[in-house]
Amino acid sequence: MVARSKVAAATVAVLAAGGVAAALTAGEDGARSRADAKPFRPEPQRDPFPANLEGPNRYPIARVEGRPLLYDRPGGRPKIRIAGETEWNTPRVLSVVKHRGKWLAVLVPELKNGDMAWIHMDKVARLGAVTWSLHADLSRRELVVRRDGRRVRRLSVGVGRPGHSTPTGRFAVTDRLRVTDPASPYGCCVLALTGHQTRLPPGWPGGDRLAVHATADLSGLGQEVSLGCMRSDPRDARWLIKKVPLGSPVFIRE
C-alpha cells in the first residue's frame, strides 16, 4: 500500500476524472443480526486492496477501524456511527462514490438505498482500489462481472418477482459468506450488499439486506422468483465469494 498522502492525492485525481460512477436473517432473502450470525462464515480474503488507485477502471475503497462517525455532508452534522467490522465479523471496507477535498462519500448498509454518508480521510485506516465490478440487468435477468473493465463471467440470476422487485441503483459488496447450515435457503454462499429489499411481505420475519446468493432450485434462474435478492447457480456463487473483493461496486438497472 502506498503512503496515505499519495493515496489521498490519487483518490482525488481518480474521482475527479470520473473513475467512480455516480441484517441476512432466517428465511429467504433476509439479513441476520450479529447474535444470530453463526450459520454464516466469512470467506477469507488475502488482500482487500489488490490495486493502486492509478489507472482506468479503478473503484476507490476505504478500510476503517474502531467506530468512526460518518457525516451528512463534508464538515456537517454527524449522521451515523459505524463499527470497524460488519455483523458477520468481516473487516469493514467502504465503497467510495465521490469526494470533496479530503472528504469521501461512502456507501454503508446502515443507510437507505441511494443514500450515502461522508468520512474524512484522517479517519480512514487504509485507502486503495478494486478493479472488479458487478453489473446486473434485471430485464435480462443476468449479472455480468467485470475486471479491469473486461467481462470475466456472466451469470443467469433469479430476480425479484412482481410486487417485490429487486432495487436498482449503485450498491457495494460488504461480506463474502460461506453458509454453514445445509438447510439454509441461501445455498452454499452469499455475497451481501449494502442495499435493502424494499417490498417485503407484511409481517416478514427476516431482515431486508440485499444479496446475491446461491439456490438449490435452478429452475428459478433467469426468472422473477425472489423477494428482491438475486439467486445464482451454486457454482457461480462459490466463484463470486472467492474472486470478488470487498467494496466492489454493484450496479443494478432495469
**pLDDT single digits (tens) 148-176:** 999 999 999 999 999 999 999 999 999 99
Bridge-based pairing state of the strands 59-63 and 126-130: antiparallel
Interatomic CA distance for residues 6 and 86, integer angstroms: 28
Quick one: pLDDT at residue 184? 86
- 14 pLDDT band (50/70/90 cuts)? very low
Burial (CB count <10 Å: 0-12, 13-18, 19+), residue 147:
middle
Quick one: pLDDT at residue 176? 97
Quick one: pLDDT at residue 206? 66
- 13 pLDDT band (50/70/90 cuts)? very low
Interatomic CA distance for residues 110 and 81, integer angstroms: 9
* pLDDT, mean over the chain: 86
Indicate the residue type of 109. Answer: P
Q: Please identify which residue in the block is written with the cell numbers 443494478.
A: 252
Quick one: pLDDT at residue 207? 77
> Residue 215 pLDDT > 50, yes or no?
yes
Apex 146 CA angle, 176 and 98, nearest 5: 80
Region 106-115: mean pLDDT is: 97
Q: 3-class SS at 43?
A: coil
Q: 3-class SS at 36?
A: helix
> Nearest CA to 213 among 194, 188, 195?
188
Q: What is the DSSP string of 134-148?
A: EEEETTTTEEEEEET
The Cβ-side half-sphere exposure at 181, using a 13 Å CA radius, reads: 13
Check residues 178 and 54 and name the one with the higher pLDDT: 178
Region 57-82: mean pLDDT is: 96
Bridge-based pairing state of the strands 249-253 and 132-137: parallel
Residues of the chain with pLDDT > 90: what percent? Answer: 72
Quick one: pLDDT at residue 130? 93
Lowest mean pLDDT among 31-40, 88-97, 180-189: 31-40
Domains and CATH numbers, the chain: 4-24+45-130 (2.30.30.40), 132-253 (2.40.440.10)
Q: Is the Cβ–Cβ distance between 107 and 170 less than 8 Å? A: yes
Q: What's the pTM value of the predicted model, to 2 decimals?
A: 0.86
- 50 pLDDT band (50/70/90 cuts)? low
Which residues face 193 on adjacent strands? Answer: 173
- 200 pLDDT band (50/70/90 cuts)? confident
Quick one: pLDDT at residue 204? 74
The three-state DSSP-derived secondary structure of 186-233 is CCCEEEEEEEECCCCCCCCCCCCEEEEEECCCHHHCCCEEECCCEEEC
Q: Which residues fall within 8 angstroms of residue 43, CB to CB, at 6 or more apart?
A: 176, 177, 178, 189, 241, 242
> Nearest CA to 157 among 235, 212, 195?
212
**Using CA of residue 77, residue 249, residue 189, residue 186, what is the dihedral sign?**
positive
> Residue 217 pLDDT > 60, yes or no?
yes
